Amino acid sequence: MNLYLRYFDNETLVSSADDAIEFLSNIDEIGMNPVLEADIREYVASDVFYPKRYKIRPRVYFIIIKTEAATMLDFKEKRAVRGADDMEMKPQRPATSAIMKLNEERDGWYEGTIDFKRVLLVPGTGKFQYRDTHFVAQVRAISGIDCYNRIVEHLRQRVDERSQFPSAKGKNFSFRYLGMAKNQY
């Protein structure tokens, strides 16, 4: 296991926590201290494989990435990407992701639910405020994304133009297919 470290244009590929700490100690702006050193050693010893970034000052960080790459060229060309063997061990995710469900074409009736930020006038003050609004509609559509587009188009004609609508891929929109004939409740 090697470690890739980068701080702006300073980068290196090292094989141990000691080498990483030595590299970082040579960069004055980082200000190596015992707490940072202990945290780096803990990260290197852990089973965590996601990159770790350390804040130097506001919007300035250095990163450490664990890698199987033996050289900097291998790392840059992503030849030793971790996970090829690990992916075989993990169960595969179902092929029906949220985007695939949204784009799946099934003509008929859909029930779409959307939570959005609606701009409303506060009567006492004459000022406007955003209010969370839950809206449910049954629409004729050919897919989940078409259902979303029809609901948003309907709402845009009836609410303040400053209202904010969520992404169709987010958690604030859901839909279900009702079938070819609209159910009467």
What letters, b where the CB count within 10 A reaches 16 and e where it falls short, cover 25-53? eeeeebebeeeebeebeebbeeeeeeebe
What CA–CA distance (Å, rounded) separates 67 from 154? 50
Both structure tokens of 40: 């780096």
In terms of C-beta density within 10 A (0-12 exposed, 13-18 middle, 19 or more buried), how is residue 97 classed?
Answer: exposed
What CA–CA distance (Å, rounded) separates 123 from 12? 61
pLDDT at 84: 44
Adjacency order of strands within the sheet including 52-57: 10-14, 2-7, 60-67, 52-57
pLDDT at 147: 95
What CA–CA distance (Å, rounded) separates 50 from 81? 12
pLDDT at 80: 63
Q: Which residues of the chain have pLDDT under 50?
A: 83-89, 95
| Residue 5 near residue 63 (C-beta atoms within 8 A) | yes
In this prediction the pTM is: 0.48
pLDDT at 93: 52
Tell me the residue type at 65.
I
pLDDT in tens, 130-147: 999 999 999 999 999 999
